[in-house]
Amino acid sequence: MNFKFSTRTADMNGTATREIFKLLSRPEIVSFAGGLPATECLPVKEVREITAEINSGDIVPVLQYGTTEGFPVLRHQLLEYLTGRGLPAIADSNLMVVSGGQQGIDLMFKTFIDKGDVVLVEDPTYLAVLQILNTYEGKAVGVKSCEDGLDLEDLENKIIQYKPKMLYCVPTFSNPTGRTYTTANRKEIASLTARYGVMVLEDDPYSLLRFSGTAVPPLKSFDSAGNVVYVTSFSKIISPGLRVGAAVGDPSVIRYMTVGKQGTDLHTSNYAQMIVAKYLEKGYLMPNVEKSLPVYLERKSAMISAIEKYMPEEFSHTDPDGGLFIWGELPETIDTVRLLPEAIERNVAYIQGQVFYADGSGRNTIRLNYSNAAPEQIESGIKALGELFKEKLAGRY
């Protein structure tokens, strides 16, 4: 049979992350490739306690069909939680449960993107967004980033030039750079996009994982036009295996996203929703996040120290106050795409920075994840990488 696939499949090649999960199973590999939260910080004890409690209650509503908007007990907890996160007051109609932040992104594109529509993204941006956009046959255009956040002049120019439907961004501890937009930068983005009628998808999976610096309000808190949709996830702060997140936006947008979700999975798994609801209800979230922060800080610091010790002088990098990633840049002569197999031979994995660029540039960049390796592993992995890069820079190709 000669399959006549949809035209969107031509751009559906799976993301680098997909292939990377397979590498993780080789125990000798030090992987800086994934975006997994620290395994040591997963709330094993709490989830055991909560599931035992769910078991002792009436589980019939958990086993039966639920509503697409989300399990009422979870929605109730979310309204409180999200207000506490600095979002403006939220009504029932502003909120929906999603099966992980990924689904929030997918549903936003489903609601807004027609073939050929432009979505502005930070250069570099979360690679899965580029892939999801391909499934809607939209076009990603990169916006320059700067120390403060997005380069506002470039943002306005690109808005004028491309008339985009949407701006996608991760303003706090960005994936992949680890950078955080300043409050002033967020205000300007909110006002600029409102002025031009551009939707903003604020993706915020990491902001609670702040181990230094001062918290910055969500971009959504500066939204006066209703054009910002805020998507968050419990993957990095409770458990990614549950697949539970939330989306907040204008009621008309949330309604279309809900109808879209009805078509994709009817509703998020009730058992997972119940676990998150009880986790929030019992007040486990903040204490456990605080307990995990020293682990993340220790690992980030271990990576920064190792970088300073082993990386070539020419290696420039970010030094984030939270999140999971450090972003590195090498001289143009270093091609991180071509070097990946060699790195893996030396038992260390990373993600080539190229995949995070809308235009496929950035072959001299690299994303390093520090959250899921012990400090000793981080040292040995960065040492191996540093040696590899130094050899290449010395011309030993």
By CB under 8 A, the residues from 220 to 259 that bind a copy of itself are 225-227, 235, 239-244, 250, 252-253, 256, 258-259
Binding residue for a copy of itself, selected from 23, 59, 146, 184, defined by CB under 8 A: 59
Binding residue for a copy of itself, selected from 16, 30, 33, 68, defined by CB under 8 A: 68
> Hey, how many other C-beta atoms are within 10 angstroms of the C-beta on 305?
14
Length of the chain: 397
For a copy of itself, the closer CB: 187 or 346: 187
CB under 8 A: which stretch of 53-61, 78-86, 329-337, 360-368 binds a copy of itself?
Answer: 53-61
Distance CA 91, CA 54 (A): 27
CB of 259 to a copy of itself, least distance (A): 5
Is residue 47 at the binding interface for a copy of itself, with CB under 8 A as the rule? Answer: yes
CB of 313 to a copy of itself, least distance (A): 35
What is the residue-wise DSSP string for 115-151? Answer: TT-EEEEEES--HHHHHHHHHTT-EEEEEEEETTEE-
Distance CA 135, CA 103 (A): 13
| Residue list 329-368, contact with a copy of itself (CB under 8 A) | none
| Residue list 91-130, contact with a copy of itself (CB under 8 A) | 99-100, 102-103, 106, 110-115, 117, 128
Distance CA 303, CA 211 (A): 15
CB 126 within 8 A of CB 176: yes
CB of 142 to a copy of itself, least distance (A): 20
Supply the Cα-derived Rg of the chain in whole angstroms.
21
For a copy of itself, the closer CB: 78 or 304: 78
For a copy of itself, the closer CB: 66 or 386: 66
| Residue list 183-202, contact with a copy of itself (CB under 8 A) | 194, 197, 199
Long-range contacts of 150-155 (CB under 8 A, 24+ apart): 150/122, 150/181, 150/185, 150/189, 152/185, 152/188, 152/189, 152/192, 155/120, 155/189, 155/192
| Residue list 146-175, contact with a copy of itself (CB under 8 A) | 165
